Amino acid sequence: MKKVFSSIILISIILINLTYAAMWKVTANPCPRTMSQMITDSSNQRIILFGGGNYRLSWGQYFNDVWSLDLNSEGWKLINLSTPMPGVRIGGPIVYDPVRIRMILFGGTDGTNFYNDVWLLNLQAGSETWVQLNPTGTPPTPRSDATAILDPINNRLIIFGGAFSSGTYVNETWALNLNNLTWAILSPSGALPPPRYAHTAIYDPSNNRMIVFGGIGASFYNDVWALYLTLNNESWQQIFPVGSQPDIRCRHFSVFDSRNHEMVIGFGYNFQGQWIYFNDVWALNLSDSMWHQIFPGGVSVAGRRGSCASHDPFNHRIFVFGGDRYFDYYFGDTYELDLDTLIAIQEEKESMHPYIKLSSNPSVLPIRINAFVPFPAEVCLKVIDGSGRVVNTLVHDKQNSGNYIIEWNGKNIKGQGVSSGIYYIILEIDGKSVSKKAVLIR
């Protein structure tokens, strides 16, 4: 494990808010990729990572390899597996079956084909093997970006949502009975969540229910839904948490924190005229239905989407791997988020600093600006010329924390094109500002 970077956290004498003293740390990793899947193999005290993709690699975009991260040594290791094995893919959810010490994979896509196949990975250490299942009954339509949880009380795999090859997305709920390997579509009572994909879900063991957060369908979401899993009497219910809430997003990660009975979500993205990549972390307490934001110290993590994560119940921490910023960058880093200690902090932010970067300089149009917002704040991003005159204001609004990709098309506030020359990009956050010189060439 690499050296831990410390950060200064402002501590108030008056206890204003309770949150986790979390520290990001960096470890070694598999190659960069996005939309992989991870589970915790608690029987062998390790994390298991499967698949993913990288559109920028010349030797192939998708993977079907399996890696393990030992929770004691915190080092990655490739697991060598013989055929048969599932094909390369992204967006195929996996779940862990702790009783039988195995992982279950459903569906996904290789970018051309969509799948509805089911595979088991037996996880006996040193003799891991894939086995394809052939369930009876009518299966779900091939899809990617669905979510899956294991219903241990009724011994079944529960699937919700997902996207088809036709580009449509659904709000179907399916169950695979693991006793007799039979598919069945469920018809839960109650109002259904809107159709979606690229959402996340966890299993809440205290209430025998699946909790779903966010995703994208007709729009981006930050809603919370609960599927109660009483056999033959399943029901959907929307949850309306109190307090500040995470921004709308998809392709985020989520895990179940068993010690605090919370759903922890983080990262992801949305698009509202510009790409917004988040690096924030939130926890939804499942007992009182209240959101609270976690402000990690340690190293600064770049905003991203498509990361996968898993919870280490032995040491009360989360491991997060990889992700991407669309076609711009793919990550192969692994972060550990320690959730073990409660401290009191000011609701003011840690000593994290905003910054801006340009995709190139000198630049041709459009100029792509990466603006990092370290905490929720009033944000102003503007362009000024050499005389200090405001040419255009690109952003002036309340924004959440994260990395924002904004394009300037070289026009002024009246929509007129400006001439070549030197301009300054100014990012102002809560009265503090940073700037970057841009040389525009037409």
289 and 388 co-located in one domain: no
| Domain-ending residue, one of 291, 318, 345 | 345
| Domain-ending residue, one of 312, 327, 345 | 345
285 and 366 co-located in one domain: no
Token pair recorded at residue 35: 């939309």
| Domain-ending residue, one of 345, 378, 404 | 345
Stated pTM of the model? 0.76
Question: pLDDT digit of tens for each residue in the chain (442 aa)?
Answer: 333 322 322 222 222 334 445 666 655 579 899 999 999 999 999 999 999 999 877 666 899 999 999 998 888 999 999 999 999 999 999 999 999 999 999 999 998 999 999 999 999 999 999 999 999 999 999 999 999 999 999 999 999 999 997 779 999 999 999 999 999 999 999 999 999 999 999 999 999 999 999 999 999 999 999 999 999 999 999 999 998 999 999 999 999 999 899 999 999 999 988 889 999 999 999 999 999 999 888 788 999 999 999 999 999 999 999 999 986 789 999 999 988 743 333 333 344 578 788 867 787 788 888 887 877 788 999 999 878 889 999 999 887 767 778 889 999 999 999 999 989 899 998 777 888 888 988 7
334 and 188 co-located in one domain: yes
74 and 39 co-located in one domain: yes
- The CATH number given to whatever domain includes residue 268 is 2.120.10.80
**Total domains, the chain:** 2
288 and 366 co-located in one domain: no
Would you say residue 324 lies in a domain?
Answer: yes
Would you say residue 350 lies in a domain?
Answer: no
Range of the domain at 288: 17-345
